Amino acid sequence: MTDAITGLAMLIAVPLLIGLLLGIDRRLTARMQNRVGPPLLQPFYDLWKLFGKERRAVNQAQVSFAAASVLLQFTAFAVFATGGDLLVAFFVSGAGNLALALGAFSSRSAYGQLGGQRELLQVLAYEPVLFLVIFILGWQNGSFLSDAFGENLLYLLPLALIAMVPVVLITMQKSPFDIATAHQEIVSGVYVEYSGTYLGLLKLGHWFELAFVFGIITLFFSADDIVISLLGKSLIVLVFVFLAVLIDNSTARTTRGDMVFKTLAFGLGLTIINLVLLWIDVSGAIW
Amino acid sequence: MSAAEIDLRKKLERMSLKSPRPRLIDVIAADRRDGTYDLIYVFHHEGAIVDHRYVVNEDDDITSIADLYAGALCMEREIIDMYGLKFNGVTGGFLLDPSSPKNPLRQPRKEVAKDV
Amino acid sequence: MSRTSVIPFGPQHAAFLEPFHLKLQVEEEVVVGAEMSFGYNHRGMEYAMAQDFKRTQFLCERVCGICSFHHSSAYVQTMERLFGIEAPERAKLVRMIMMEAQRLTSHLLALGHIAETVGYENMFMQFFREREEVMTLVNRISGGRVHYSMNAIGGIRKDVTYEGLKDIGETMDRLEPRLLDLRSIVRKDRTLRKRLIGVGVLSKEAAFDWCTVGPTSRGSGLPHDIRLTGFDGYGVNGVKFRPIYYDEGDCYARTMVRMDEVIQSVDLIRQGINLMRDGPFLNAVKGNPPAADAYGRVEAPRGELMYWVRGKNEVQLDRIKLRTPALVNVPAVSAMIKGARVADVGPITVSVDPCICCTDR
């Protein structure tokens, strides 16, 4: 019973926290660029305004795909929040991204097509890394159920955590890897043919996706004391957001091929090294 | 091609072969208010402006120099738009579209030009 | 099997500041062909400017917002030639200082723009912060941020005060270390170099063939600079100037030309202030422009800007022709763009600093 209540509380609280996190992200970005920046709650205002706008769509398929995307992302996050299987959540979230790309393809806009292709390419780049990280987490934990994580894995899996940096950059649409939504190249790519309420839906879907990805990151840390545990988890998330903003503000955008290659080489490389170290450790060689 | 045009073409070709090669700055057209037009080819040669001036008729087929200088193409297209002159193998529509006023820079003929 | 699809770039596009249209033929995000069309911003300037030669000195600033003072300097210089008078030395130096100040604002805008196009938002903000410093400076000196309206045929309308000159000097002292910092970032930043080096190469021959001018030609190894020959101000005794050029011909070379010229402009402004002597600043003209013609050229931020004026002994001018640098630079984009990736179309077009106000007039 208490589990159900915690799950329900998480379902409501975490998306709100993600909105707040995006607000922090925008303030932080602004401060790094010597600007004042928007109010902390600006992402909520934006979403509120989008939902208040006229409903206009290019075609019906587009609406279905937007709805599918947000529902799938929500399901992925819900599976995670209610203590479900991480692998299930991972695949559902991947399907949400696919729906986003299909929504872009369903319009005949050249920019939508390019954005859809690039979105798929991004999925190709970061999902293997995310999958491997989830795999290694579950293997160490002995279970893929998200509520079964009660152990501190940070000291066992430091490299796998670092491998999450490009994943977070891609999902947060940050500078070196924001190719699917590259504003100056393909005019927000996948989002270009959406407006009003449906754009708001996609943004909400993006919040759920972020909630899931940041959720995975929080699994790395755990402590017996619930307060320390929560503090540690929040700290990791904040450090990641800070890193993402820092990298965003000190790099230009890379190109498609570069993104795939770098993310895969960096992410998979680090995770596999971590895996090998652990495997040696199992046989009692290092620590 | 009339004798005058062959002469123009030859001169410009000779000009473009000089060493160091002169840089084309602009092709200017100006109305002479008697149905003829000044066509001025302006070059930058050895640190100064060198220009070649020709007088052409409204319906002359003027030789394009886009094969000598690729950059001349847009200048010629602009003249087609503004004055309605004809260049061989060049079409207008650079600044104006079909619904725009025709030949906006053509001036009234001299007899009626006292409009101060 | 390859399939060509068409991507419309512009007239309204996030990477362009001004409206022009690029029709790209694309195979798998590689550009195989491009068609450009212009005219979205055509205002009939050449007609309007021929109506009254005195008002034209203000109207010509309205051709373009980022090289307005160069336009008016070129115009008054042409008119001075037509009238057969010479502007006083002090006026020429003031023009030179203000032209270099405007080159600072224009180049910093272009540099910020190119940083923005490759997704480097932070660098964009840095460039615009420095630009704002120059913008407020010219506002203090002339009373306008964009249109200075300081020129008059025969000199300048109002003298720059001693305090004004001191202000310019102090601002340059404040600005220079920050610009040098920015230059070292542009030189070293790996992601920026990766995005710009080898992209949109324009060979020396092609640059000449397309008649390119300014940073576009200087980025391709052609050391054309009208400041050496054209504008009188730079010929005044003792202004030391040497054109900056790079041989590579890619977007990075064009960017570096601008970056170095920004530093050079600071130096030229200082030289101008040091050469300033008290004296007259206006040789007023009387009567209407004679029925003759004259050329006038200045080096605008985007390259050589030429005016040709023919008078007819009336208030009206018989013909005024502007050859703006963008008219030859922007079409050259079609030579750079073949074989580029879609992601590079933005940087390539922005690297020639397309000023469509100037192209369309």
Compute the average pLDDT of residues A42-66: 86
User: HSE-up of C52 (CA within 13 Å, CB side)?
Assistant: 5
**Contact between B70 and C42 using a beta-carbon 8 Å cutoff:** no
Q: Which residues from C are below 8 Å from B72, CB to CB?
A: 211
User: What integer pLDDT is reported at residue B2 of this predicted model?
Assistant: 56
Q: Which residues from C are below 8 Å from B25, CB to CB?
A: 211, 304, 306, 323
Residues 221-250 of C with CB under 8 A from B: 224, 228-229
Q: Nearest Cβ partner of C125 from A35, A113, A254? A: A35
Share of chain C above pLDDT 90, in %: 4
CA C95 to chain CA mean position, Å: 15
Q: State both tokens at B105.
A: 């820079």
CB atoms within 10 A of CB B20: 8
From residue C182, alpha-carbon distances to A252, C130, C175 in Å are 15, 10, 11
Residue C2 has pLDDT above 70, yes or no: no
Tell whether A84 is covered by a domain: yes
User: What integer pLDDT is reported at residue C311 of this predicted model?
Assistant: 85
Choose between C30 and C321: higher pLDDT. C321
Tell me: the pLDDT tens digits for B56-88?
Answer: 888 777 878 877 888 888 888 888 888 888 888
Phi, psi of C76 (to 5 degrees): -65, -35
User: What integer pLDDT is reported at residue C92 of this predicted model?
Assistant: 85
Name the nearest CA neighbour of A252 among C292, C129, C197: C197
- Which residue in A has a C-alpha nearest to residue C25's C-alpha? A110
Q: How far apart are CA B88 and CA B66, in angstroms?
A: 10
Choose between A7 and A102: higher pLDDT. A102
Tell whether A60 is covered by a domain: yes
Query: Where are the alpha helices (H) located in chain C, listed in sequence order?
Result: 45-49, 53-59, 68-83, 89-117, 121-142, 162-188, 190-196, 204-209, 214-218, 251-275, 325-329, 333-336, 342-351, 356-360
Residue A74 has pLDDT above 60, yes or no: yes
Compute the average pLDDT of residues A188-201: 82
Tell whether B113 is covered by a domain: no
Strands C303-311 and C293-300: antiparallel
Tell whether B114 is covered by a domain: no
User: What integer pLDDT is reported at residue C40 of this predicted model?
Assistant: 84
Q: Assign A285 a pLDDT band (cuts: 50, 70, 90).
A: very low
Least confident of A206-210, A239-243, C4-8: C4-8
- Which residue in C has a C-alpha nearest to residue A255's C-alpha? C343
Tell whether B89 is covered by a domain: yes
Choose between A180 and C349: higher pLDDT. C349
Whether B contacts A, i.e. 3 or more CB pairs less than 8 A apart, is no
Tell whether C266 is covered by a domain: yes
Tell whether C342 is covered by a domain: no
Choose between B2 and A55: higher pLDDT. A55
Q: Assign C355 a pLDDT band (cuts: 50, 70, 90).
A: confident
Q: Which residues from C are below 8 Å from B43, CB to CB?
A: none
**CA end-to-end span of chain B, whole Å?**
40
Residue B114 has pLDDT above 60, yes or no: no
Tell me: the pLDDT tens digits for C251-301?
Answer: 899 999 999 999 989 988 888 888 888 888 888 888 888 888 888 888 888
Compute the average pLDDT of residues C36-40: 83
Determine the Cα angle at C16 with ends C12 and C19, to 5°: 50
User: What integer pLDDT is reported at residue C203 of this predicted model?
Assistant: 86
Task: Give the type of residue at C11.
Answer: P
Q: Which residues from C are below 8 Å from B96, CB to CB?
A: 39, 42
Q: State both tokens at B22.
A: 């002169």
We report the CATH number of the domain holding residue C162 as: 1.10.645.10
Residues 257-276 of A with CB under 8 A from C: 258
Q: Which residues from A are below 8 Å from C195, CB to CB?
A: 252-255
Tell me: the pLDDT tens digits for A156-192?
Answer: 777 778 888 888 888 888 777 776 666 666 677 778 7
Tell whether C240 is covered by a domain: yes
Q: Which residues from C are below 8 Å from A183, CB to CB?
A: 14, 119
Tell whether B93 is covered by a domain: yes
What is the domain range of residue A158? 2-282
Tell whether C124 is covered by a domain: yes
How many folded domains does chain C comprise? 1
Mutation for A interface: C23, C118, C192, C197, most A CBs within 10 A: C118
What is the domain range of residue B47? 3-108
- Cβ of residue C342 closer than 8 Å to a chain A Cβ: yes
Tell whether A287 is covered by a domain: no
How many folded domains does chain A comprise? 1
CB atoms within 10 A of CB C64: 27
Strands B86-87 and C5-9: unpaired
Residue A131 has pLDDT above 60, yes or no: yes
User: What integer pLDDT is reported at residue A254 of this predicted model?
Assistant: 77
Strand partners, C307: C296, C322
Share of chain C above pLDDT 70, in %: 98
Tell me: the pLDDT tens digits for A86-99?
Answer: 888 888 888 888 88
Residue C358 has pLDDT above 60, yes or no: yes
> Do residues A266 and A166 make contact, with C-beta atoms less than 8 angstroms apart?
yes
Q: State both tokens at A152.
A: 């501190």
**Contact between C195 and A178 using a beta-carbon 8 Å cutoff:** no
Share of chain A above pLDDT 70, in %: 92
Tell whether C355 is covered by a domain: no
User: What integer pLDDT is reported at residue A108 of this predicted model?
Assistant: 79
Q: Assign C1 a pLDDT band (cuts: 50, 70, 90).
A: very low
Across chain C, mean pLDDT equals: 85
Residue A283 has pLDDT above 70, yes or no: no
Shortest Cα distance, chain A CAs vs residue C161, angstroms: 33
Tell whether C156 is covered by a domain: yes
CB pairs B-C closer than 8 Å? 80
> Do residues C293 and C317 make contact, with C-beta atoms less than 8 angstroms apart?
no
Whether C contacts B, i.e. 3 or more CB pairs less than 8 A apart, is yes
Q: Which residues from C are below 8 Å from A176, CB to CB?
A: 119, 191
Handedness of CA C242, C248, C249, C250 (dihedral sign): negative
DSSP state of C288: P
- Cβ of residue C345 closer than 8 Å to a chain A Cβ: yes
- Cβ of residue B23 closer than 8 Å to a chain C Cβ: yes
HEC-encoded secondary structure of chain A? CHHHHHHHHHHHHHHHHHHHHHHHHHHHHHHHCCCCCCCCCHHHHHHHHHHCCCCCCCCHHHHHHHHHHHHHHHHHHHHHHCCCEHHHHHHHHHHHHHHHHHHHHHCCCHHHHHHHHHHHHHHHHHHHHHHHHHHHHHHHHCCCEHHHCCCCCCCCCHHHHHHHHHHHHHHCCCHHHCHHHCHHHHCCHHHCCCCHHHHHHHHHHHHHHHHHHHHHHHCCCCCCCHHHHHHHHHHHHHHHHHHHHHHHHCCCCCCHHHHHHHHHHHHHHHHHHHHHHHHHHHCCCCC
**Contact between C5 and A253 using a beta-carbon 8 Å cutoff:** no
Q: Assign A106 a pLDDT band (cuts: 50, 70, 90).
A: confident
What is the domain range of residue C302? 42-325
Compute the average pLDDT of residues A267-286: 73
Compute the average pLDDT of residues C71-88: 87
Residue C68 has pLDDT above 60, yes or no: yes
Tell me: the pLDDT tens digits for C162-215?
Answer: 888 888 989 999 898 999 988 898 888 888 888 888 888 888 888 888 888 888
Residues 108-127 of A with CB under 8 A from C: 110-111, 113-114, 117
Q: Is ipTM beyond 0.90?
A: no
- Cβ of residue C12 closer than 8 Å to a chain A Cβ: no
Q: Assign C90 a pLDDT band (cuts: 50, 70, 90).
A: confident
Tell whether C245 is covered by a domain: yes
How many folded domains does chain B comprise? 1
User: What integer pLDDT is reported at residue A278 of this predicted model?
Assistant: 76
Q: Assign A282 a pLDDT band (cuts: 50, 70, 90).
A: low
Q: How far apart are CA C258 and CA C246, in angstroms?
A: 11
